[in-house]
Structure 1
Amino acid sequence: MPISLKVTPNGPRLDPNLFILNPLQPDGNDRTSPDSLGPEVCLATDFHLKDGDMVLNQKDGPVTINPSGAPLSQTQNRNYVFAGFTNRSIYSCEMHGTLENNDNLDMCANFHPEKARLNFYLLMMNGVRVVFTKTLAFNTILTIRALLF
């Protein structure tokens, strides 16, 4: 008869830290709609119990993933780490009552590349102002020095 060993942490129950990660998109990719973001990952870290499921909320409905194969991290806390993959955009991710919304969906709504030129001009104008201010201060100091000595 084989011997089985089940290890359960004796510390307090920790809620997982959830992060929704997405890959870098190539230039020219349409980033105006949430569905164009592409495949994403929900990363859950620092949780003790592998009980319960990870729920990935997508456009077509929620997808449930069982984290029973989550590896134990080798850090001092010895917590579990699990990544839930999907080929669609994740609107939110939840596990053990913790919910993480996808902040990248908000970035898509406010993505305006035409404002980059205006920001560059404002940055350049501030740089020119700093140079002129330093020049004025330096010339003033040299003039006072020439008049006094």
Structure 2
Amino acid sequence: MADKVKSKAFPTAFKLAAIKRLEAGEAVLPLARKLGVSRKVLHDWRKAWKLHGPAGLNRKRGPKPGPRKLRPLAEPAAKSGSGELAQARAKIAELERKIGQQALDIDFFHKALRALEAADRQGSIAPASRKSSKP
């Protein structure tokens, strides 16, 4: 069995000090090495701090309870001109998804047809004229 690596819990003051150093312009990799954390951890701390403030640095890991909030495909815009643009982009995205699905369907049917033709050449499929339910 693989050993699970426990993540070390850092105090909020430590995280805030690291974020201040990042905001002051210190490079991520050297700072991460000095502090003994990964670059990803520093980026996560900075992101959590920007989104939720100091309280974001103490959030528990993993999925949060409650229903998930899904982002809409196209956000409605306040202006009519940009609203039309958003509608056009949404329509384009929808059509591109349909085209992709049709391409997958076509590939599937081409492969099925090739398999049937190969089976027919090998003689494992009887021609339709020979098949009959009458004796």
**Which of the five TM-score ranges fits, normalised by the shorter chain?**
0.3 to 0.5
Larger Rg belongs to: 2
More helix by share: 2
**TM-score, normalised to structure 2's length?**
0.35
Higher RCO (C-alpha 8 Å, min separation 6): 1
